[in-house]
Amino acid sequence: MGKLYIVPTPIGNLQDITLRAISVLKEADLILAEDTRTSAKLLRHYEISTPLMSHHMHNEHRTLTSILQRLVAGETLALISDAGTPAISDPGFLLSRACIEKGIELDCLPGATALIPALVCSGLPSDRFVFEGFLPPKKGRQTRLKQLADEKRTIILYESPHKLLKTLSQLAEFFGPDRIASVSRELTKLHEETKRGTLAEILEYFQLNTPRGEFVLVISGRKS
């Protein structure tokens, strides 16, 4: 029986990878990558020549059986996403669950993920928080926002640049414009930025400054 490693990769700065992650990627029989073109840049940087296979949200159901067969046959596989820790708003859960059900050894390495740096840099309470990932695009979106408006823990969301203004507007509507928040973008990259203030202030800022990059929103919980 083989083994599956879940390997976090840098979210921007290529130096944000562990020595153990590099070792695992070099020694694996195969690397499952969300986008082989994106991952190839990282592998070249660290002189990793392990073969790559595409594994993403559009083919993970179709490729699952063949991947499990390789693991059962004794191969060591490593799963990576384009950036950060697989299964955190990225492919990984389906394969991890299947390995556990089949009795295949599973090991997740510690490493990069965008939500923790954004939370720590927000200045908001970090002892208790809830990670929601991306809000539903349409169906169920308002219901989720209504539920989160009453959440007392700090809330963490992911958002893309073209939806940021809409999301900030809806957060201000459902949570109130004076709710304190922090928005981080391009974490670990050259143009990293964190904007803190009320939801109204942050919305106004990004209305005047075109949103670019990937965003992490950290919103304070409702006060009792």
What is the domain count for the chain?
2
Please report, for the domain that includes residue 63, its CATH number.
3.40.1010.10
Q: What is the pTM of this model?
A: 0.92
Quote the pLDDT of residue 59. Answer: 86
**pLDDT tens digits for 30-44?**
999 999 999 999 999
Q: Do 80 and 133 have their domain in common?
A: no
Whole-number Cα distances in Å, 107 to 25, 30, 167, 172 = 13, 15, 35, 40
Quote the pLDDT of residue 121. Answer: 97
Q: Is residue 37 part of a domain?
A: yes
Question: What gap in Å lies between CA 168 and CA 218, rounded to an integer?
Answer: 11
**pLDDT tens digits for 73-97?**
999 999 999 999 999 988 899 999 9
Answer yes or no: are the C-beta atoms of 155 and 122 closer than 8 Å: no
Q: Do 119 and 85 have their domain in common?
A: no
**pLDDT tens digits for 143-168?**
999 999 999 999 999 999 999 999 99
DSSP sequence for 1-63 = --EEEE--B-SS-TT-S-HHHHHHHHH-SEEEES-HHHHHHHHHHTT----EEE--TTTHHHH
Q: Do 11 and 35 have their domain in common?
A: yes
Q: Do 53 and 26 have their domain in common?
A: yes
**pLDDT tens digits for 67-78?**
999 999 999 999
Q: Do 179 and 140 have their domain in common?
A: yes
Quote the pLDDT of residue 56. Answer: 87
**pLDDT tens digits for 175-224?**
999 999 999 999 999 999 999 999 999 999 999 999 999 999 999 999 97
The closest of 59, 52, 10, 9 to 32, measured between CA atoms, is 52
Question: What gap in Å lies between CA 99 and CA 214, rounded to an integer?
Answer: 31
Q: Is residue 35 part of a domain?
A: yes
Q: Is residue 161 part of a domain?
A: yes
> 10 is in which domain, residue-wise?
3-108
Domain boundary among the residues 41, 73, 108 is at: 108
Residue whose tokens read 């922090």 = 182
Q: Is residue 224 part of a domain?
A: no
Quote the pLDDT of residue 57. Answer: 83
Quote the pLDDT of residue 135. Answer: 96
**How long is the chain?**
224
Residue 122 banded pLDDT, cuts 50, 70, 90: very high
Please report, for the domain that includes residue 159, its CATH number.
3.30.950.10
With a pLDDT cut of 90, the percent of the chain lying above it is 93
Q: Is residue 138 part of a domain?
A: yes
Q: Is residue 24 part of a domain?
A: yes
Residue 21 banded pLDDT, cuts 50, 70, 90: very high
Domain boundary among the residues 108, 140, 158 is at: 108
The closest of 218, 224, 223 to 199, measured between CA atoms, is 218
Question: What gap in Å lies between CA 197 and CA 202, rounded to an integer?
Answer: 6
Domain boundary among the residues 87, 108, 129 is at: 108
Amino acid at residue number 200: A
Quote the pLDDT of residue 178. Answer: 98
